[in-house]
């Protein structure tokens, strides 16, 4: 499973990239706004850190403006994936951009039917939002499983990009189901390395090392 980092924090992206944990990056205007920097400037900088897809989101709601924004974003770098909402205008934009050879990430997916439409429109990625479904007492992971079944049934190339991930458990569950990609905040990815028994075992090991007076260097 590929790891995309859901942030516009340059330092966090560089750190995780140095560990080999960045296969791509997802951003949106809200995330970038927190940095107080220009959206094109930040996006271009991110694209230079990773060769993987970098999702940059349109803000228009109508097809004509959405398409114009998508084309402008796509010019930032070759690894831009234009992010569009799962609306009819978004699907129309997805089809147009995909036909032009631009990667498209269709976002705000909350049903298997929506994911099926995105695949037929030629989406590179479909982003089902796990956490937001969990927030209203629906099973976000079940949606990932349903989409996986549908895509496998018909051989769609659209990659399932599990989004709105809130925990390390979400990451492992998505991997078991067969999501192609999971995008998560840096803190969630870092939490995947943590386990109380690892900490306990390391503490015991270090106590023994100190007691024995072992030195490597």
Q: How many domains does the chain have?
A: 1
Model confidence band, residue 126 (pLDDT cutoffs 50, 70, 90):
very high
Read off the DSSP letter of residue 108: E
Q: What range defines the domain where residue 87 resides?
A: 2-192
Q: Which long-range contacts (CB under 8 A, 24 or more apart) does 86-94 make?
A: 86/114, 86/117, 86/118, 87/61, 89/61, 89/62, 89/63, 90/66, 91/117, 91/118, 91/121, 92/63, 92/67, 92/121, 93/58, 93/63, 93/66, 93/67, 94/118, 94/121, 94/122, 94/123
The pLDDT score that the predictor gives to residue 76 is 97
Residue 107 lies in a domain: yes
Does residue 64 lie within any of the structural domains?
A: yes
**Taking 80 as the threshold, does the pLDDT of residue 203 lie above it?**
yes
214 — pLDDT class (breaks 50, 70, 90): confident
Q: What is the pLDDT of residue 35?
A: 77
Question: Does any domain span residue 200?
Answer: no
Span 118-138, average pLDDT:
97
- Tokens for 113, please give them: 């039917």
Q: Mean pLDDT over residues 80-96, rounded?
A: 98
Q: Is residue 199 part of a domain?
A: no
Q: Which domain CATH number covers 41?
A: 3.20.20.70
pLDDT tens column, 15-36: 999 999 999 999 988 888 887 8
For residue 34, the model assigns a pLDDT of 80
Owner of token pair 């990815």: 189
Which positions are annotated as active-site residues? 83
- Residue 155 belongs to some domain of the structure: yes
Torsion of CA 142, 147, 150, 155, to 10 degrees: -140
What pLDDT score does 108 carry? 97
Query: In the structure, what pLDDT confidence band is assigned to residue 217 with cuts at 50, 70 and 90?
Result: confident
The yes-or-no verdict on residue 128 having pLDDT over 80 is: yes
Residue 203 resides in a domain: no
Q: Is the predicted pLDDT of residue 68 greater than 80, yes or no?
A: yes
Domain assignment of residue 90, yes or no = yes
**Whole-number pLDDT of residue 29:** 85
Query: Does residue 22 form part of some domain?
Result: yes
Quickly state the pLDDT bin for 215 (edges 50, 70, 90): confident
Quick one: pLDDT band at residue 209, thresholds 50, 70, 90?
Answer: confident
* CA 169/CA 171 separation, integer angstroms: 5
pLDDT at site 211: 85
Residue-level pLDDT at 116: 98
Q: Identify the pLDDT of residue 160.
A: 98
């Amino acid at each position: 499973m590929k790891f995309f980092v859901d942030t516009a924090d340059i330092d966090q992206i560089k750190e995780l990239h140095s560990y080999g944990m960045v296969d791509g990056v997802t951003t949106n205007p809200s995330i970038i706004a927190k940095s107080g920097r220009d959206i094109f400037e930040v996006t271009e900088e991110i694209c230079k850190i990773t060769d993987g897809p970098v999702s940059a989101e349109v803000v228009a709601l109508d097809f004509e403006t959405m398409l114009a924004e998508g084309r402008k974003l796509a010019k930032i770098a070759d690894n831009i994936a234009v992010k569009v909402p799962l609306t009819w205008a978004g699907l129309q934009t997805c089809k147009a951009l995909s036909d032009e050879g631009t990667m498209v990430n269709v976002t705000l997916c909350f049903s298997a039917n929506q994911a099926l439409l995105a695949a037929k429109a030629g989406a590179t990625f479909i982003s089902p939002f796990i956490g937001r479904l969990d927030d209203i007492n629906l099973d976000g992971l079940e949606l990932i499983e349903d989409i996986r079944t549908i895509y496998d049934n018909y051989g769609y190339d659209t990659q399932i990009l599990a989004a709105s991930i809130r925990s390390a458990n979400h990451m492992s569950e998505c991997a078991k189901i067969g999501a192609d990609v999971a995008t998560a905040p840096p803190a969630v990815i870092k939490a995947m390395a943590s386990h109380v028994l690892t900490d306990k075992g390391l503490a015991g090991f270090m106590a023994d090392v100190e007691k024995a007076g072992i030195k490597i260097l």
